[in-house]
Structure formats: structure tokens, C-alpha cells
């Protein structure tokens, strides 16, 4: 089941044109990722500071379907899927209000050993977490 989170857009999230800046929307998506991990019982400090594995984003993309302005209330839906033993992808559907699709984002994450920078299998807690955020239907 996908993970849902609500967030209001603030003036500081926007660019000089008065719409959300692309990097800030990706930051909001990453915040939803962190909240989803925490809701699954994963200790974020242990996860992000582990000497045994790191799971950096190796690819990110975002598409804007309509402008997002300060004051807009967003609902961000995260879903994910395992791609290989060491890689997973997350999809973010960003809605204005509850039903108006405004943007889509995708991030690809690869598990590595921080010391050698070589790929290693995803840890069991992440494999279990991925089962909780499997997509039902992807509007993006």
C-alpha cells in the first residue's frame, strides 16, 4: 500500500517565477521517503549513518504537469518497488488537494558499501519496508 503525506507549499519553496522550485519539490519527496521509513520502524539515524551500507539516490527525475504555488496544499503519495538485489525505485505522485495530479517524480536508489563503494544487497529492513509501499496503481 502506498504511503501518503500532506504538506503545504511555502514561499521559501518557490523560485523567482512564484512556482515551486524543482529541487525543493524533490526535497519534499525525500522527506516523505524518510517519514515512510520511520513509520515502518526504521531508525533514521542508524539508517542514514550506518558504516555497513549506504543507499544513495543514483537517478532522479521530476515532471511538472501544472504549476504549484505558495499556499497550495499537496498530498504526496510514495510507492516503491525492488528492481534488483541492490536497487529499488520510488515513485511520487504529487497531488494538489486530494485528486488533482500536479507532478510526478521518480528516484532510483542503489545500496553500496560506504568503504569500497561497491554494490551490496539491500538490507532486510529495507526489503521488508519495500513490501509495505508496493504500488497499487501509478498515475505517473
- The residues assigned a catalytic role are 15
Rounded Cα distance, 25 and 15, in Å: 11
The CA–CA distances, whole Å, from 49 to 54, 87, 104, 115, 120 equal 8, 19, 29, 13, 16
Beta-bridged to residue 6, according to DSSP, are 75
Which residue, among 139, 134, 41, 133, has the nearest Cα to 99 in the 3D structure?
139
Helical segments of the chain, H only: 22-39, 44-48, 124-132
Provide the residue count of the chain: 140
Amino acid at each position: 500500500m502506498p504511503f501518503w503525506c500532506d504538506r503545504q507549499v511555502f514561499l521559501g519553496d518557490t523560485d523567482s517565477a512564484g512556482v515551486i522550485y524543482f529541487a525543493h519539490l524533490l526535497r519534499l519527496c525525500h522527506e516523505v521517503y524518510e517519514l515512510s521509513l520511520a513509520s515502518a520502524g526504521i531508525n533514521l539515524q542508524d539508517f542514514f549513518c550506518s558504516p555497513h551500507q549506504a543507499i544513495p539516490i543514483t537517478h532522479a527525475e521530476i515532471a511538472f504537469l501544472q504549476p504549484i504555488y505558495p499556499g497550495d496544499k499537496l498530498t504526496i503519495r510514495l510507492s516503491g518497488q525492488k528492481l534488483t538485489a541492490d536497487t529499488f525505485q520510488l515513485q511520487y505522485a504529487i497531488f494538489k488537494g486530494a485528486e488533482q495530479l500536479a507532478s510526478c517524480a521518480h528516484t532510483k536508489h542503489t545500496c553500496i558499501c560506504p568503504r569500497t563503494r561497491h554494490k551490496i544487497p539491500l538490507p532486510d529492513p529495507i526489503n521488508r519496508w519495500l513490501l509495505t509501499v508496493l504500488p497499487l496503481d501509478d498515475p505517473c
